[in-house]
């Protein structure tokens, strides 16, 4: 009975961890997209011969120095890339946890199956008669 309850708790923990993995993976994917977008913008700024360009700040466009914008984007991209690495580490930890829980749950399930498949002493006596 206690083992069955532990297995149910493990299964609930597995489901929570699976949802957490989904959330972290989604956030990481969004960050990777932002990083790629910034990388493209930096490339455009590096190639332009213009000294000034417009950047969006909220709902307005502001004229700014290209070199300042490039520096700002590179800093933002660096921050996002660090967050992506952090999320990758979180993802790896959650996957390890899921694998351990899966093994534990499967082990409990196999143990329970083995216990139910073994004939009891009374069944053995009845089968001999």
pLDDT at residue 55 in the model: 92
Average pLDDT of the segment spanning 36-41? 97
Q: Which residue has the higher pLDDT, 79 or 117?
A: 79
How confident is the model at residue 118, as a pLDDT?
57
* Domains of the chain, first to last: 18-106 (1.10.287.370)
67-80 confidence digits (pLDDT tens):
999 999 999 999 99
Q: What is the DSSP string of 70-119?
A: HHHHHHHHHHHHHHHHHHHHHHHHHHHHHHHHHHHHHHHHHHHHHHHHSP
Cα–Cα distances in angstroms (integers) from residue 110 to residues 1, 12, 103, 123, 124, in the given order: 16, 18, 10, 21, 22
Give residue 20's pLDDT.
97
HSE of 107 in the Cβ direction (CA atoms, 13 Å)? Answer: 9
């Amino acid at each position: 009975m206690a083992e069955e309850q532990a297995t149910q708790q493990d299964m609930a923990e597995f489901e929570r961890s699976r949802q957490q993995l989904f959330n972290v993976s989604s956030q990481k994917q969004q960050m990777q997209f932002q990083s790629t977008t910034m990388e493209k913008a930096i490339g455009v700024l590096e190639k332009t011969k213009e000294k000034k360009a417009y950047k969006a700040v909220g709902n307005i466009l502001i004229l700014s120095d290209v070199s300042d914008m490039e520096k700002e984007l590179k800093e933002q991209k660096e921050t996002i890339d660090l967050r992506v690495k952090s999320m990758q580490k979180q993802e790896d930890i959650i996957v390890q946890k899921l694998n351990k829980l899966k093994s534990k749950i499967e082990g409990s399930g196999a143990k329970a199956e083995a216990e139910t498949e073994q004939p009891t002493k009374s069944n053995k006596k009845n089968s001999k008669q």
